[in-house]
A and B are shown apart, each in its own frame.
Chain A
Amino acid sequence: MSILSVATAPQRRRARRADVPAQSVVDVATGATLADMATGQSARVLGIEAPHDPAGARRMFDLGFVPGAEVRMVRRAPLADPVVFRVAGYDIALRREQARWVSVAAPAS
């Protein structure tokens, strides 16, 4: 089983994230991604889906967003973006763009 369900897009070099429709990156099971979490909420990672960017998805995995990992939304920047998450025992800031790649099971406080 592949937990990095990435769309195969060999033309990654030409890929433009702005072109990616929002729906395609939302997990079908819950619809929730890291980008939907509110401050203080925790959730478990279901998978990573980054259309057109398999290498980016792989990087999220290497950063600790592995399926089953617990993620906590720590805080939002004053201008709403980026967002700090706590995962694998450390804090990491992601922009919404990347946060949307990681689908999570229903977040709870």
Chain B
Amino acid sequence: MGERRGAGFVTLDSGHCAVPGQELRGLDEQLPTLALVGSPNSGKTTLFNALTGLRAKTGNYPGVTVTRYVGRVAVHDRELTLEDLPGTYSLAAISPDEQVVADVLDLDHPTLATPDALVVTLDATTLRRSLNMLAQVLATGLPVCVVLTFTDELTRRQGSIDVAAFQRAVGVPVLTVTSGRRQELGPLRDRLVDWSTWATPALPPPTEPAEVVSWIESVLSSSGYVLPQIDRRTRRVDAVLLHPVWGTLVFFAAMFVFFQIIFTLASPVQGWLENLFGFLSTQVQDHVGNRFLASFLADGIIGGVGGVVAFLPQIALLFVLISIMEASGYMSRAAFLMDRVMAKAGLEGRAFVALLSSLACAIPGIMATRTLPSMRDRISTMMGAPLMTCSARLPVYVLLVGLLVSPSDRVGPIGAQGVIMFALYVVGALSAMASAWVFSRIGRRSGPLLPFYMEMPPYRMPSARSVGLAVWDACRGFMRKVGKIILATTVVLWVLLNVPVHSNATMAAAGVDVHDQAAVSAYTIDHSAAAAVGRFVEPVFEPLGFDWRINVGILASLSAREVFVATMGQVAAADNPDKPAEGLKHLTVQSGPRAGERLFTPAVLAALLVFFLYALQCASTIGVLRRESGSWKWPAIAFGYMFVVAWTMAFLTGLVVGALT
């Protein structure tokens, strides 16, 4: 299982910063630092959240894309810093995330400061396994305090442990904390500030495997440990949910509902938000006298902020669903069912949820990769996810497919438009899988393949608090880290499309009716900086049959793909920029050998469709890739490879369609 954050996961973060200490501003270096160590599913992050609340700060460990969570714990008049280390089953690291834990606990590590003391969370129901890691942690010689979790579940499943005897056996302080019992946090807090007085084992436990096995046996027998019975409820539920027929049916039904909720439940809320921001824009347009300033505020600023906020319903819903799936234990089951299929793409089962979410939008899809424990799988999935046909491509596809074939055209008994749309979805999904496969092959060359193993935790009731925290954490991170990238792109593109400013006199002199809104915007865009860019890059797109006006549309669509539709409408000076098809049909090539011919030939339309299928025309995706991978490297690679593939595939498609028509 992935490490938990709220109900959730290891989270990647931006702030890829090589200087330790600088990436987490506002933390007092003088305070004693304690670190939480524990296996995934051991209740470690739940404990971290309970102790630090919403005061946690996030940053990166130097040099790696592993998120660092640090919070502050206040006990009476004293304070200490608490760090939530990535979840791991062992200090013998096999992944970058686990290496962070090993490095932090390594007293001799050159750059990472070792904490003053460690808090180890042990799931009481999996103690036989967990003691293995405790032995490794004790071997570091740092002061250690053990927090036993899930003791209530241990009792419920007829297991038992004598906590006092266990404390004597391991030789360090042991406390029990059951999730949901906040009164147990008081004694733990008091114990944490007294870290300098913690007992240390008289004899550190052995590290040699054979001796560790006997040490574990002796600790368990001296503390009267009774292994819990199999959780009957879990077995009964699994008999259905993992059944070859019923389990698969339930899985597809669950995924269908999951997708429907993100796709359909979020869209009315998104619609309301768009209306709200649209209303604000109109207010500004109406009340700000200067046309240029009004447009800047309305389209640049309010449009940009609206563009950021519009993603929040989807992100919030996705994280509600994902954290419920994670915390309840169903995520492991879903991954178990899909693992074989995803393995074909070099991924593991959990990547399915991320790819599925990308059908609604790549933003939540890429954020959903946080559920994957391996960084390499996360990157491979992120590199493929943007190729899934997201909802922002739909308006573009509808426009272009509408120009390409008429609604009455048929392929056999089926409408040709529907066939083309379906083909675009299928090709997008296959390309996403293929791309993930390629990147996972490349990733294998840079390091060892991780063995696959996945704990199947008993079904547990997700707590509203941890679901809420996961949603809050995701939305806050998105607003802070991705919001500014989206806003900046919107403003820059607005400037490109609207500068230089033309006075009414200039336009009148050029024969433009200054009272005709469509004519004014067409004139502005024709003489804008974007048009200059569009003309400048014309040689690049010329082989695809795109002229500078299409290039302007492609440039503008960087803020969001659907902007292409409105921009083309503006370019064509259509009376209604939202329905640009009529204007576009009659556009002709202005210069060159094709001058006077129709611009949107079937070959150009097909090339444009394929270009939009592959190209990473989305600043928000670039922003979220930046945040989730921790550096600009991966968004740059994604943009680059997708552009090359988009250009090549568009060129080939144009050739084929041109030859056929």
Query: Which residues of A does B touch, CB under 8 Å?
Result: 1-4, 12-13, 15-17, 53, 55-56, 58-64, 66-68, 75, 77-82, 84, 86-95, 97-98
26 A-B Cβ contacts within 8 A?
A: A1-B210, A2-B210, A3-B210, A13-B447, A59-B453, A60-B451, A60-B453, A61-B209, A64-B129, A75-B238, A78-B247, A79-B341, A81-B339, A81-B343, A82-B336, A84-B242, A88-B129, A89-B125, A89-B127, A89-B228, A92-B453, A92-B455, A93-B332, A93-B336, A98-B452, A98-B453
The one of B132, B210, B242, B452 that contacts A62, using a Cβ cutoff of 8 Å = B132
Instruction: Chain B residues near A84: list those with CB within 8 A.
Output: 242, 336, 456
Instruction: Chain A residues near B213: list those with CB within 8 A.
Output: 3, 66-68
Smallest Cβ distance from A25 to chain B, in angstroms? 13
Closest to B128 in A: A88
Closest to A82 in B: B339
Instruction: Chain A residues near B247: list those with CB within 8 A.
Output: 78
Whether B133 lies near A94 (C-beta < 8 A) is no
> Can you name 16 extra interface pairs (CB under 8 A) apart from A62-B89, A84-B336?
A2-B209, A12-B448, A15-B449, A56-B94, A58-B90, A61-B209, A62-B132, A62-B133, A75-B242, A88-B126, A88-B128, A89-B128, A90-B456, A92-B454, A92-B456, A98-B451
A interface footprint on B121-144 (CB within 8 Å = 1, 0 otherwise) = 000011111001100000000000
Instruction: Chain A residues near B457: list those with CB within 8 A.
Output: 90-91
Whether A77 lies near B453 (C-beta < 8 A) is no
Whether A3 lies near B209 (C-beta < 8 A) is yes
Q: Measured between alpha carbons, how far is A79 from B344 in the docked complex, in Å?
A: 12
The one of A2, A4, A90 that contacts B126, using a Cβ cutoff of 8 Å = A90
Q: Measured between alpha carbons, how far is A2 from B210 in the docked complex, in Å?
A: 7
Query: Which residues of B does A touch, CB under 8 Å?
Result: 89-90, 92, 94, 125-129, 132-133, 159, 209-210, 213, 227-228, 230, 238, 242, 244-245, 247-248, 332, 336-337, 339-341, 343, 444, 447-449, 451-457
Q: Measured between alpha carbons, how far is A82 from B338 in the docked complex, in Å?
A: 10
Smallest Cβ distance from B437 to chain A, in angstroms? 15
Instruction: Chain A residues near B132: list those with CB within 8 A.
Output: 61-62, 64
- Once A15-B448, A56-B94 are accepted as A-B contacts, the answer to whether A77 and B127 lie under 8 Å apart by CB is no
Closest to A64 in B: B129
Q: Measured between alpha carbons, how far is A88 from B213 in the docked complex, in Å?
A: 12
Whether A82 lies near B452 (C-beta < 8 A) is yes
Q: Measured between alpha carbons, how far is A98 from B450 in the docked complex, in Å?
A: 10
Q: Measured between alpha carbons, how far is A106 from B96 in the docked complex, in Å?
A: 37
Q: Measured between alpha carbons, how far is A56 from B90 in the docked complex, in Å?
A: 11
Smallest Cβ distance from B229 to chain A, in angstroms? 9
Q: Measured between alpha carbons, how far is A82 from B159 in the docked complex, in Å?
A: 29
Closest to B92 in A: A58
Closest to A83 in B: B336
Q: Measured between alpha carbons, how far is A86 from B336 in the docked complex, in Å?
A: 15
Smallest Cβ distance from B2 to chain A, in angstroms? 14
Q: Measured between alpha carbons, how far is A80 from B244 in the docked complex, in Å?
A: 10
Instruction: Chain A residues near B452: list those with CB within 8 A.
Output: 82, 94-95, 97-98
- Once A3-B210, A62-B90, A89-B126 are accepted as A-B contacts, the answer to whether A55 and B453 lie under 8 Å apart by CB is no
Closest to B455 in A: A92
Closest to B213 in A: A66
Q: Measured between alpha carbons, how far is A73 from B244 in the docked complex, in Å?
A: 16
Whether B454 lies near A93 (C-beta < 8 A) is yes
Q: Measured between alpha carbons, how far is A42 from B447 in the docked complex, in Å?
A: 35
Q: Measured between alpha carbons, how far is A102 from B645 in the docked complex, in Å?
A: 43
Q: Measured between alpha carbons, how far is A81 from B349 in the docked complex, in Å?
A: 11
The one of A61, A64, A78, A81 that contacts B244, using a Cβ cutoff of 8 Å = A78
Closest to A68 in B: B213
Q: Measured between alpha carbons, how far is A93 from B457 in the docked complex, in Å?
A: 10
Smallest Cβ distance from B421 to chain A, in angstroms? 30
Instruction: Chain B residues near A68: list those with CB within 8 A.
Output: 213
Smallest Cβ distance from B94 to chain A, in angstroms? 5
Instruction: Chain A residues near B230: list those with CB within 8 A.
Output: 86
Closest to A2 in B: B209
Closest to B339 in A: A82
Q: Measured between alpha carbons, how far is A107 from B393 in the docked complex, in Å?
A: 54
- Once A58-B90, A63-B89 are accepted as A-B contacts, the answer to whether A93 and B453 lie under 8 Å apart by CB is yes
Q: Measured between alpha carbons, how far is A15 from B94 in the docked complex, in Å?
A: 14
Smallest Cβ distance from A93 to chain B, in angstroms? 5
Smallest Cβ distance from B353 to chain A, in angstroms? 16
Q: Measured between alpha carbons, how far is A98 from B111 in the docked complex, in Å?
A: 35
Q: Which of B210, B444, B448: most chain A CB closer than 10 A?
A: B448
Closest to B349 in A: A82
